């Protein structure tokens, strides 16, 4: 359970860590957009150099980044595999009734790369931003939605609390599991039904514990005069620094560069085809 790296923060002091969370949220989005702007290997090479620089700047060890990919490995294989056999094009290999086409290979590779880069991009964002900063960033970014009666503060408060309680509840689950194991409980052996039944001594106390904590937390918050988001100020308000503004400019530059590079290369391809 300690190996769940989704949304985990990796504490280091890098330039990327110090950026405003909104900048990183947008950065992840821009990165993902760039992945779908092109089908060209050369452009992907440029994107790879770009993300490589960011990874280096973030001081996050490569191994930690790769751990996040373990989770999508199966999804990756299934989707890429699917594309490999389904897409029509020039046939290259035939295995029984399944044929692999050149278009199929190209699609499978791009799908694979897109998926991997997607995970790396979003992982970088969560690894360099604490969950609370992320929630703050989202709250500030979506504040305008308050005008159409969406309770932005309440939603982000719920998110922050949920994030805060993940490690607490995980620890509680561990404690309860150990206490029941000390009474001879067995969570591992048996078929699906037996395993499901064996979860009751785990889930009931966990549920009771979670509700108890929620009630205690609500009382604690109320005793400190919490009344919702109306008129509430922040202890650490998010303010853009020079580095953040420079980063925004870099995003714009990056997107334009990728767009034009893609156009140029495509037109070169078209030209070479025409001249043949």
Partner 1 sequence: MSIRLENVNYIYSEDTVYEISALKNVNLKIGDNEFIGVIGHTGSGKSTLIQHMNGLIKATSGTIYYNDKDIYDSKYSLKELRCKVGLVFQYPEHQLFEVDVLTDVCFGPKNLGLSEEDAKASAIKALEQVGISEDIYEKSPFELSGGQKRRVAIAGVLAMEPDVLILDEPTAGLDPKGRDSILDQIYELYSRRSMTVILVSHSMEDIAKYVNRLIVMNKGEVKYDGTPREIFSHYKELEEIGLSAPQITYAMAALKKNGFEIDENITTVEEAKQEILKCLM
How near is the Cβ of 181 to partner 1 at its closest, in Å? 6
Tokens 């050149």, located at residue: 102
How near is the Cβ of 192 to partner 1 at its closest, in Å? 19
Q: Using H for helix, E for strand and C for coil, what is the string for 32-62?
A: HHHHCCCCCHHHHHHHHHHHHHHHHHHCCCH
Cβ atoms of 137 and 238 within 8 Å: the answer is yes
Cβ atoms of 89 and 101 within 8 Å: the answer is yes
How near is the Cβ of 180 to partner 1 at its closest, in Å? 6
Cβ proximity to partner 1: between 153 and 181 the closer is: 181
How near is the Cβ of 18 to partner 1 at its closest, in Å? 19
Cβ proximity to partner 1: between 92 and 166 the closer is: 166
Residue numbers of the site for partner 1 (CB under 8 A)? 2, 10-11, 172, 175-176, 178-186, 200-201, 204-205, 208-209
Cβ proximity to partner 1: between 91 and 186 the closer is: 186
Cβ proximity to partner 1: between 113 and 185 the closer is: 185
């Amino acid at each position: 359970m300690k190996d769940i790296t989704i949304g985990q923060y990796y504490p280091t002091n890098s330039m990327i860590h110090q950026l405003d969370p909104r900048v990183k949220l947008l950065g992840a989005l821009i990165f993902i957009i760039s992945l779908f702007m092109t089908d060209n290997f050369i452009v992907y090479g440029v994107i790879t150099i770009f993300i490589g620089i960011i990874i280096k700047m973030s001081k996050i060890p490569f191994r930690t980044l790769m751990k996040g990919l373990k989770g999508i490995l199966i999804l990756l294989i299934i989707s890429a595999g699917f594309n490999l056999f389904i897409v029509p094009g020039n046939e290259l290999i035939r295995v029984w009734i399944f044929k692999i086409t050149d278009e199929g290979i190209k699609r499978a590779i791009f799908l694979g790369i897109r998926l991997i880069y997607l995970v790396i991009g979003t992982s970088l964002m969560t690894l360099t931003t604490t969950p609370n900063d992320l929630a703050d960033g989202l709250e500030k970014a979506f504040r305008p939605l308050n005008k159409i009666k969406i309770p932005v503060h309440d939603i982000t408060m719920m998110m922050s609390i949920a994030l805060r309680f993940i490690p607490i509840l995980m620890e509680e689950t561990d404690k309860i599991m150990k206490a029941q194991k000390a009474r001879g409980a067995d969570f591992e052996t048996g078929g699906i039904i037996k395993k499901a039944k064996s979860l009751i001594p785990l889930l009931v106390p966990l549920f009771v514990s979670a509700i108890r904590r929620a009630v205690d937390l609500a009382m604690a918050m109320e005793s400190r005069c919490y009344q919702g988001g109306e008129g509430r100020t922040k202890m650490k308000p998010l303010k853009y620094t020079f580095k953040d503004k420079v980063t925004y400019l870099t995003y714009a530059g990056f997107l334009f560069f990728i767009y034009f590079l893609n156009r140029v290369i495509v037109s070169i391809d078209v030209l070479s085809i025409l001249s043949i």
